[in-house]
Structure 1
């Protein structure tokens, strides 16, 4: 056999061996497929949202009889109703949310809250402030902040008065002072009022 031909045959066999090794599992292994993303565990899943309840105050005698309703989002807690006054109590924390409709003989919500403050001062009452605040819905509003003591516990209150024509709607958030800030979203949600139609 010719040396040149023999050399070419050796090179050809070597190339064929390398190609065959790659196809038959030799050489570098193929990269593994990425594992599927983990399914969310119960602790990272979005929390369920409770169905919202509403406390509705009706105004049938305005706007030439068309009227409207003032709907306040309230928590799904046990409640008591006496006339227009509604009280919602959190079962364990001592947090209370109250709503009411009272005649407004004053000129604005702030003066209405001042009249309420003068007439209703619980034991160890300490005024923090009474002032105007941003509108609630499309209505003028005022805010009354104070503390008082009940059964040896200092409680903090934020009461918002909303002027709706000749009526003052009050939304009162009342909580033991240590948990007041943590539960303030209860009031924030209640102030997202709507026209209930």
Structure 2
């Protein structure tokens, strides 16, 4: 009995299958013959010491693998969601800082701004912001206009609020030490 024999019938090659070995779902069933080749090529275990492969055991193993893959995938997706939220928050902070920096650069100023110096933002009665070198204390505690904050101009032309300058310097120092460019 030959299955899947390839013959040439006066024309193109044709595959002939034995119908009696086909199952209802269209797949060929194992004929039941013994494996004659080397044991490493056997489709089933040949050693009596190896565990038998039951269909239920294989199905259980697949089910456990699916459950584990689902848990791992869920964990990774949760981590990505946390990272997305963190990145969204960081993007919000960057946009707010850019808006603030733009407003400070557009504020009226009658002197040359230099990185590393602290400038003080005031707002006139007509709503026009301006930068001054004088702090509210240097005005004798009563500045001529509404004081909005003190900012230090950084080398990259960004602005750091004076109350955050110390933390900014500590972070910059730590980064410089990590990169080997600082003391």
Q: Which has the larger radius of gyration?
A: 2
Using the size of structure 2 for normalisation, the TM-score is: 0.28
Larger proportion of strand: 1
Q: Which has the higher contact order (CA 8 A, sep 6+)?
A: 1
Using the size of structure 1 for normalisation, the TM-score is: 0.27
